[in-house]
Amino acid sequence: DAGVIQSPRHEVTEMGQEVTLRCKPISGHNSLFWYRQTMMRGLELLIYFNNNVPIDDSGMPEDRFSAKMPNASFSTLKIQPSEPRDSAVYFCASTGDRGNQPQHFGDGTRLSIL
């Protein structure tokens, strides 16, 4: 079975540019999560969706960040304009409704803003 698929795997861009990260969750999973991981702050939840609806976006750092989930098989995280402090690894994860189901993570996008 295919796992969570993220693209791109790596992105290097200059500050001020728009960055779009993409995620395809595991088929049948109805919850999708976007995380950011840095050495200083660890793994932080940015936003999560349940049945394509954003449930909690309290972790989104500021208005420069936005996320969408137009359908059950696709989500995007957008940063506009990007800043050097946004440099991190961004993970997408998905899970289903059963109580003991863990979240499954994609391979992440390593983002560097110059």
Partner 1 sequence: GQNIDQPTEMTATEGAIVQINCTYQTSGFNGLFWYQQHAGEAPTFLSYNVLDGLEEKGRFSSFLSRSKGYSYLLLKELQMKDSASYLCAVRDVLTGGGNKLTFGTGTQLKVEL
| Least CB distance to partner 1 at residue 108 (A) | 6
- Site residues for partner 1, window 37-66 (CB under 8 A)? 42-45, 48-51, 53, 55-56
Instruction: Give the DSSP letter string of the chain.
Output: ----EEE-SEEEE-TT--EEEEEEPPTT--EEEEEEEETTTEEEEEEEEETTEEEE-TT--STTEEEEEEETTEEEEEESS--GGG-EEEEEEEE-SSTTPPPEE---EEEEE-
Measured from the CB atom, is 8 or 16 closer to partner 1?
A: 8
- Site residues for partner 1, window 2-21 (CB under 8 A)? none
Q: Which of 25, 33, 69, 77 binds partner 1 (CB under 8 A)?
A: 33
Q: Which residues pair with 79 in a beta bridge?
A: 19, 65
Q: Which of 60, 75, 95, 113 binds partner 1 (CB under 8 A)?
A: 95
Q: Which of 77, 88, 108, 111 binds partner 1 (CB under 8 A)?
A: 108
Q: Are strands 10-13 and 109-113 parallel, antiparallel or unpaired?
A: parallel
Binding site for partner 1 (CB under 8 A): 31, 33, 42-45, 48-51, 53, 55-56, 91, 95, 99-100, 102-108
